[in-house]
Chain A
Amino acid sequence: MRINPFVFGITVLAVFLGVILSFQAAGVWSVSGKTTSDGAVQPSVEDVSTIKGWMTLEQISTVYNVPLSEIVAQFSLPADTPVSAAIKDLESDTFSAEELRAWLESRMAPVESGAAGVPTPQDTPIPAALPTEHVAPEKTITGKTTFQDLLDWNVSEETIRQIIGGDLPAMTTLIKDYAVQNGLEFSTLKTALQSEVDKTR
Chain B
Amino acid sequence: MTSQPLPVSPVRIKPRLRGWKSLLTHQAFRRFVQLGFATFILVVTLQHVLVGESSGNVTASPEAYCPFGGLETLYQYITSGGSFISRTHLSNVVVLVAVLVTAFLFRSAFCGWVCPLGFIQDLVSGFSAFLRRRFSFLRKAVNALKKHGARLAFLDRYLRLLKYAVLAWAVIGAGVYGVMVFRDYDPWSALINIAKFSFTPGIVVLGVTLVASLFIERPWCRYACPLGAASGLMGKLSPMYLKREADACKVCKVCTKACPMGLPVHAATTITSADCICCLECVCACPREGVLEVKMGIPLVGQK
- The answer on a CB contact under 8 Å between A9 and B54 is no
B65 at the interface (CB under 8 A from A): yes
Query: Can you list 25 A-B pairs with a CB-CB distance of less than 8 A?
Result: A1-B296, A3-B294, A5-B294, A8-B26, A8-B106, A8-B280, A8-B294, A9-B280, A11-B106, A12-B109, A15-B105, A16-B98, A16-B101, A16-B114, A17-B98, A19-B97, A19-B101, A23-B94, A24-B94, A31-B89, A32-B60, A34-B53, A56-B54, A84-B54, A89-B54
B78 to chain A, nearest CB (A): 15
B113 at interface by CB-CB < 8 Å: yes
Count A/B pairs, Cβ under 8 Å.
103
Cα distance, A199 to B98, chains bound together (Å) = 61
Assuming the A-B contacts A5-B284, A23-B94, A86-B54, are A31 and B64 also in contact, with contact meaning beta carbons closer than 8 angstroms in the complex?
yes
Q: A23-B97, A31-B58, A32-B64 are in contact. List 10 more A-B contacts (CB 8 A).
A: A1-B297, A4-B294, A8-B280, A11-B106, A12-B109, A16-B98, A30-B90, A31-B61, A31-B65, A33-B84
Nearest CB on A from B92, distance (A): 9
Q: Are B296 and A20 in contact (CB under 8 A)?
A: no
Q: Are B89 and A32 in contact (CB under 8 A)?
A: yes
Minimum CB–CB distance for B206 against chain A, Å: 23
Nearest CB in chain A: distance from B170 CB, A: 21
B110 pairs with A9, CB closer than 8 A:
no
Partner-B contacts on A (CB < 8 A) = 1-6, 8-9, 11-13, 15-17, 19-20, 23-24, 28-35, 54, 56, 84-86, 89, 180
Write out the residue numbers on chain A whose beta carbons fall within 8 Å of the beta carbon of B278. Answer: 8, 12
Complex interface: chain B residues within 8 A of A15 (CB): 98, 101-102, 105-106
Contacts of A9 in B (CB 8 A): 26, 29-30, 33, 113, 280
Which residues of chain A are within 8 angstroms of B84 by Cβ–Cβ distance?
A: 33
How far is the CB of B217 from the nearest CB of chain A, in Å? 19
Which bracket fits the contact residues of B? 35 or more
B293 beta carbon closer than 8 Å to chain A: yes
The 3 A-B pairs with the shortest beta carbon distances in the complex, nearest first, are A31-B60, A5-B26, A19-B98
Assess whether B95 is in contact with A20, with CB atoms less than 8 Å apart. Answer: yes
B94, B95, B293, B297, most chain A CB atoms within 10 A:
B94
Least CB distance from B21 to A in Å reads 14
Closest to B294 in A: A3
Could you tell me the distance between the alpha carbons of A1 and B239 in the complex, rounded to whole angstroms?
10
Evaluate contact between A13 and B280: CB separation under 8 angstroms: no
Cβ contacts under 8 Å, A29 to chain B: 90-91, 94
Chain B positions within 8 Å of A28 at CB level: 90, 94
B26 and A35: CB pair below 8 A?
A: no
B295, A12: Cβ atoms closer than 8 Å: no
Question: Do B283 and A13 touch across chains, with their CB atoms under 8 A apart?
Answer: no
CB distance from B193 to the nearest CB of A (A): 13
Interface centre among B59, B102, B110, B280 (most CB of A within 10 A): B102
